[in-house]
Structure 1
Amino acid sequence: MDSSAPDFSQLADQEFHYWQELAYDDPNKRPKANTITARKQRINRLKTHFGSTPIDAISTFDVARYYDTLTSTHEYQKIRGILTSVFQYARTRGLFPDHLVNPGQAAQLKRVAKPTSRKAMEPAQYRAIYHEAPEWLQIAMDLILQTALRQQDIWALRWDQIRDNGLFVIPQKSQTQRRNQQRQSHLCFELDKNHSLTAILNRAAGVKRELEEHYQQAKSCPFIVMRTDIQRIKHSANKNSPFQINRTLAAHALKKARDRAMENTNFFNGLTREQLPAFHGIRKLSLQLMRKAGADDQYLQAIAAHTDFKLTEESYLTPNTTSWQKLGHYDIKLP
């Protein structure tokens, strides 16, 4: 061990600067703002733990013990990637001996991560969270309840998807399914048969008109669900509109509303943090209520299906070959 070796904090800062500014030949491919912020937060936690320890004094054992303190597989993967990169950066600068293994890469998580066991959201829990949620989140929750769409599809819903008395949606599909060339799903929610969905869309239209009175940018926003916490609205490079909602913002908003609901009610008693219902729990609740209302397996399969093209691509590239599955027979009411 070289006593003159720089400490972990110094090298972590240097690696972060290199990763953010110098590692990409094309400036357009550099990390987005949210990615930079998340990585910086993780590096700060690592600096708090390893601090002034010389880089070559940190062993695989030390890193493995740190990994064991992490609470999720996702966080472990992110932290492991950062630590591996810091030690690799130190090696390329001649500050970490070649004969030593990379501790970030060599160490593994001791425990076997348990799969997330989130529960379906109960009607009482839905109402409690809904009561604490901002208006845009209430609209989103109601849309999921009536359509059983995944949250990424809710944030992508646009006003031009409403036509011919229907809401036309092609749910987004994962990259794996896209590679497998699975059959696309085309959903048409018939608004004359689903009065609750129509009422939700009318409420969203009212929110849009209200925002347009104060913000010129709101007039060009194409999304049905628009954020309404005006003081915090700002534009970012990865948004099509400053009023657009992404999954991170939505997850934080739902968690805040759920935490307030937990303080004010006993509907969540007995649930661990991993079991607390999230957005997917609303989708489960929706499908369960549809089945209770009489929906058959074919209907449920259609409404829960995946796809691999966005609505605009499908509508304009092959409009004459698309067979839309009409969905509007089950107007969901909470018991």
Structure 2
Amino acid sequence: MRRPEKHDANLPRNLTYRKTRKTYAWRNPLDGREIPLGKISRREAVAQAIEANHYIEKNYSPIALLEQLKGETEYTLANWLDRYEVVLQRRKLAANTYKVRSGQIATIRQQLGEMVLTSITTRHIAEYIELWISTGKMTMANTMRSVLSDIFREAVIEGRVKDNPVTPTRAPKIEVQRERLSYEWYVSIRQAAERQPAWFTLAMDLALVTGQRREDVALMKFSDIRDERIYIEQTKTGMCLALPMSLTLNAAGLKLGTVIDRCRLVSRCDFLISSGVRKNSPDGSVNLDGLTKGFVKARNASGIEFSEQPPTFHEIRSLAGRLYEAERGKEFTQKLLGHKTQKMTEKYLDSRKKEFMLL
């Protein structure tokens, strides 16, 4: 076991010198990561270490205990996040959306919370976003930028800061990764799924004929049906829909009323899709992971060669949107998917393939 390097009392904090290699290294006190400086002169190593230590102390050092006891602390990002969460609660977001946002706020609080709110600059934001980009987490980088932008937008509104430091930063470009599901692939995957319990193929058909999310398909109940319609309140957006039993997707030969009648033959509880009452599901509802894993199992058994990011159960919603758009137009599709804007619907209708323009 290698002996730890002895610290030279004549060197600045966090700077070490390895005699065997004749190299210097600086340890980042924030994450413990050691950054090699190479075979540079002692004077240059000391200068770089002092500069780095000064930067850390200026931007990331916690407020002194004595200052806190005196009540002389400066207003930090963590202080503002307490207020921001109150603002967020007033927006009446869906429970799942609020849960996700709370997790994002907790991450920002942990990593940037001790910084003085008014001292946070565009450079700090850019460096924070770069942390996610450098690890290949482009979606997270984009999400965190969006959340930070909203946090500082509200701070501007309440006069805590003059400008939003996030605005000048560039939104990370996210390359499309997940493959779209074609109808031909859907048919092959569904055929492979027939080896699984009947409730799973019914879930696929119900998702396709209604165009609803996995979460909403799992929550559909027979008691939600009245006056020849099934009433759905989308869990993500709170959008309320009343789909008629006569709703038909001609391309797939599916009629909502017929699919629901088939569900009655399989389900033994109030849920349209049910794998039965059991210990981990006393009400008979199906676990969302069951839908995800069932689709993966059928997809693998279909024999189709997909890309590194194959379509998931959620892609059935996009397929439904594209099929309905071809049959009944964009306006109907937007209402069916429950989108507030046409822009969001366009994202679902994008086949993500090169298509020739017919002239």
Q: Structure 2-normalised TM-score?
A: 0.46
Which of the pair has the greater relative contact order for Cα pairs under 8 Å at 6+ separation?
Answer: 1
Q: Give the structure with the higher percent helix.
A: 1
Structure with max Cα Rg:
2
Q: Structure 1-normalised TM-score?
A: 0.49
Q: Give the structure with the higher percent strand.
A: 2
